[in-house]
Amino acid sequence: MFKSGRNKDGQLVVRTNSGEEINLLEAAKRYGDLIKASA
């Protein structure tokens, strides 16, 4: 399960059930880089 919300800086983050916060912008950037690298 994911809970989405905002961190203290007002950025959109997703919290996993292990308590890890994932910044969506950072994740999208990293994912985009992976796609470019594999293309």
Q: What number is the average pLDDT over the span 9-26?
A: 85
Summarised one tens digit per residue, pLDDT across range 20-34 is 888 888 888 888 888
24, 15 in Cβ contact below 8 A? no
- What does the pLDDT read at residue 1? 63
Instruction: Report residue 3 CA to chain centroid gap.
Output: 12
Q: Give the pairing type, strands 2-6 and 21-23.
A: unpaired
Q: Where are the alpha helices (DSSP H) in the chain?
A: 24-38
**What is the C-alpha to C-alpha distance for residues 24 and 16, in angstroms, rounded to an integer?**
12
- What does the pLDDT read at residue 35? 86
Say yes or no to pLDDT of 37 above 80: yes
**36 three-state secondary structure:** helix
pTM of this structure: 0.47
Summarised one tens digit per residue, pLDDT across range 1-10 is 678 888 888 8
- What does the pLDDT read at residue 34? 86
